[in-house]
Amino acid sequence: MKILLVEDETEIGSLVKDGLEKEGWSVDYCEDGDSGMTCATTKSYDAVVLDVMLPGRSGLEILKALREGQNNVPVIIITARGESEDRIEGLNLGADDYLPKPFFVEELLARLRAVWRRSSDGNMSLLSIGSLSANLMSREVSRSGQKIDMTPKEFSLLAFLMRSPNRVLTRTQILEQVWGYHFDPGTNLVDVYIRRLRAKIDLEGEAELIETLRGVGYRMVDAENPRPAEGA
């Protein structure tokens, strides 16, 4: 899952971001409402976590802009304990759930899984290309019925590739979307992880699924559906 977190209290934001990333999720973290609005309205996310009280635009303004733009991404709002008006307004604007401060990160994780599961109706939780499948909720990977163990970051990389079949993804795109921030362009981090994935998913007798485009990047090949993913 790729999450947008908008929270101006640095201590809380850092704890939540660390907790989400330990689950293997990718997080864009904004500390004010204006940058949060920009990310929310220009990028694609699996869920958004919004503090209500923010410098600049409020979390409720961001939520309203999303819903007016027909963006139905699951949204959880964070409110100060006792601020029932904010919770009611947020729910009326289209929030999927809310959490009062203070809260445990584990509870937020559970609520994120729940709202995302409800929004997808279970249909978007399974990615499959050929004989390879990845369950986004259980984080289980298998090929031809054989279970494949992966680290959280390996799973995030695989899911990102599988979400864009036949689309050429540059190393920079992969670094930004999977690791969440910019790296030295000379790093070979992506290449190292691609080699790890290939070693795990390229079973004997099965077609190789990850194609290298020298000097450009990588592509997950879906021979059964040769058209690039929408937006490629």
13 and 62 share one domain:
yes
Identify the pLDDT of residue 121.
55
87 versus 36: the higher-pLDDT residue is 36
16 and 106 share one domain:
yes
Written as one letter, the residue type at 147 is K
196 and 216 share one domain:
yes
- pLDDT per position as a tens digit, 51-93: 999 999 999 999 999 988 888 888 999 988 666 788 888 888 8
Q: Is residue 232 part of a domain?
A: no
pLDDT band at 230, cuts 50/70/90? very low
Residue 128 has pLDDT above 50, yes or no: yes
Calculate ∠ Cα 222-226-228, nearest 5°: 90
Residue 170 has pLDDT above 70, yes or no: yes
Q: Is residue 228 part of a domain?
A: no
- pLDDT per position as a tens digit, 187-226: 788 999 999 999 999 988 888 999 999 888 999 988 776 6
| Longest Cα separation, the chain | 60
169 and 106 share one domain:
no
229 versus 209: the higher-pLDDT residue is 209
How far apart CA 44 and CA 92 sit, in angstroms, is: 23
18 and 106 share one domain:
yes
Return the closest-CA partner of residue 55 out of 7, 5, 4, 103: 7
Region 13-24 average pLDDT:
88
CATH number at residue 52: 3.40.50.2300
3-state DSSP call for residue 174? helix
Query: Of the residues 120, 139, 174, which one is the last residue of a structural domain?
Result: 120
Return the closest-CA partner of residue 212 out of 163, 155, 159, 174: 174
137 close to 113: Cβ distance less than 8 angstroms: yes
- pLDDT per position as a tens digit, 134-167: 887 678 899 988 999 998 889 889 988 988 888 8
Identify the pLDDT of residue 191.
92
215 versus 123: the higher-pLDDT residue is 215
- Two tokens, residue 181: 């921030």
Identify the pLDDT of residue 147.
93
Which helix (H) or strand (E) segment is 78 a member of? strand 75-80
Identify the pLDDT of residue 178.
80
What's phi and psi for 191, nearest 5 deg? -60, -40
What's phi and psi for 116, nearest 5 deg? -70, -35
Region 119-147 average pLDDT:
79
Identify the pLDDT of residue 231.
42
Written as one letter, the residue type at 92 is N
61 and 111 share one domain:
yes
Q: Is residue 176 part of a domain?
A: yes
Identify the pLDDT of residue 124.
54
How far apart CA 149 and CA 200 sit, in angstroms, is: 8
Calculate ∠ Cα 181-72-16, nearest 5°: 40
Q: Which domain holds residue 12?
A: 2-120
Number of domains in the chain: 2
111 and 214 share one domain:
no
Q: What CA–CA distances, in Å, run from 160 to 140, 192, 202, 212?
A: 15, 16, 17, 16
